[in-house]
């Protein structure tokens, strides 16, 4: 099964887009630094961001407090520092995935569980490959496309120049990119036996959502994995990715979720979130803690009160 991406429109070149183009140009240049330099420089940039972005630092610290109550303050601070180091390295991975070479990232790469995708595709079924928002997200997606013809869903960017860059960058490796509003196109792709990479773990602003446990906290979560599987007949496989200390990557595909989808959207969503939680516990420094994951609560009380804008 193949999907032809729609043609890329010409880049917007108006003067109001120049600041974005300058940033994109800088990322293109940084993408060409040696990988060993990028890993060192990335940790330094991450430490600098930790000091320069107090609001994001406070959000991440609060998330770690909520999700790891068994750790003392010192242990959570170590986790926080390593998280920002991972964010800094992730910026270079992002740049390489879109504008550079990923040959250094391929060295030492380990891929486990490709047989689970083959099993999930039995009978021509599509597969929803579910992961979460990790600092390794972009690099892992491109690396996995060496092995699987993945399409993706994404949220369109409000800035036209960045939207062009997103589509141009991911067109290097994804078979197609579907805006999150294009449910019909996404379902059609899955019904044709396609593979869809999807990360449903952030607090949504729109869409059918329920509260399910995530690290023991009630997390406002999209039911879209359940809905896409129900509409398309696709299987669901969990995808864990990790940047190892030696600079290599390990990517693991799990057996397809059993009895999915069921008739219970909340139970299915809880199953998906439990899977993403297990991934985050396996590599806690690499999960995206700077996101306000628990900004909506059943009692209406935000755990981020007093941290920047609500």
Asked if residue 13 has a cis previous peptide bond (ω within 30° of 0), the answer is no
141 within domain boundaries: yes
For 204-227, write each residue's pLDDT tens digit: 777 789 999 999 999 999 999 999
* Non-local CB neighbours of 222 within 8 Å, separated by 6+ positions: 200, 204, 207, 208, 209, 269
pLDDT in tens, 225-274: 999 999 999 999 999 999 998 889 999 999 999 999 999 999 999 999 99
Helices (H) and strands (E) in the chain — how many of each? 11, 9
Residue 9 pLDDT level (bands cut at 50, 70, 90): low
pLDDT grade, residue 180 (50/70/90)? Answer: confident
Q: What SS3 state is found at 108?
A: coil
Distance (Å, whole) CA 92 – CA 97:
9
Q: For the sheet with 195-198, list strands across it.
A: 110-112, 249-253, 235-243, 127-130, 195-198, 150-154, 177-179
Residue 145 lies in a domain: yes
Residue 116 domain boundaries: 108-286
Domain count, the chain: 1
Residue 179 placed within a domain: yes
The CB-side HSE value for 44 (13 A sphere, CA atoms) comes to: 5
Domain assignment present for residue 176? The answer is yes
What tens digit of pLDDT does each residue of 107-159 get? Answer: 989 999 999 999 999 889 999 999 999 999 999 999 999 999 999 988 888 88
Tell me, yes or no, whether 242 lies in a domain. yes
Q: Is residue 229 part of a domain?
A: yes
Residue among 96, 19, 62, 83 nearest 284 (CA): 83
Whether 294 is in a domain gets the answer no
Closest residue by Cα to residue 203 from 310, 286, 306: 310
Q: How far apart are the first and last CA of the chain?
A: 45
User: Does residue 3 form part of some domain?
Assistant: no
């Amino acid at each position: 099964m193949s999907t032809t991406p729609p043609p890329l429109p010409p880049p917007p070149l108006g003067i109001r887009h120049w600041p974005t183009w300058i940033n994109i140009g800088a990322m293109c240049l940084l993408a060409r630094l040696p990988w060993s330099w990028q890993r060192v420089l990335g940790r330094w940039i991450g430490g600098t961001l930790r000091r320069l972005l107090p609001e994001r630092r406070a959000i991440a610290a609060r998330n770690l407090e909520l999700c790891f109550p068994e750790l003392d303050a010192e242990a959570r601070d170590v986790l926080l520092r390593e998280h920002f180091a991972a964010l800094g390295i992730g910026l270079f991975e992002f740049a390489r995935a879109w504008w550079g070479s990923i040959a250094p990232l391929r060295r030492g790469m380990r891929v486990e569980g490709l047989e689970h995708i083959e099993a999930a595709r039995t009978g021509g079924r599509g597969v929803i490959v579910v992961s979460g928002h990790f600092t390794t997200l972009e690099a892992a997606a491109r690396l996995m496309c060496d092995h699987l013809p993945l399409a993706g869903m994404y949220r369109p960017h409000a800035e036209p120049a960045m939207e062009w860059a997103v589509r141009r960058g991911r067109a290097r490796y994804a078979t197609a990119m579907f805006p999150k509003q294009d449910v019909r196109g996404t379902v059609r792709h899955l019904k044709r036996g396609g593979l869809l990479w999807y990360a449903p773990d952030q607090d949504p602003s729109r869409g059918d959502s329920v509260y399910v446990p995530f690290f023991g906290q009630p997390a406002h979560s999209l039911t879209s994995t359940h809905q896409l599987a129900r509409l398309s007949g696709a299987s669901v496989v969990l995808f864990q990715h990790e940047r190892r200390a030696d600079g290599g990557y390990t990517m693991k595909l799990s057996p397809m979720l059993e009895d999915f989808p069921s008739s219970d959207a909340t139970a299915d969503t809880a199953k998906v979130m439990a899977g993403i939680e297990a991934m985050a516990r396996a590599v806690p420094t690499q999960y995206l803690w700077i996101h306000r994951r628990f900004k909506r609560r059943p009692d209406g009380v935000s755990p981020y009160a007093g941290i920047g804008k609500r």
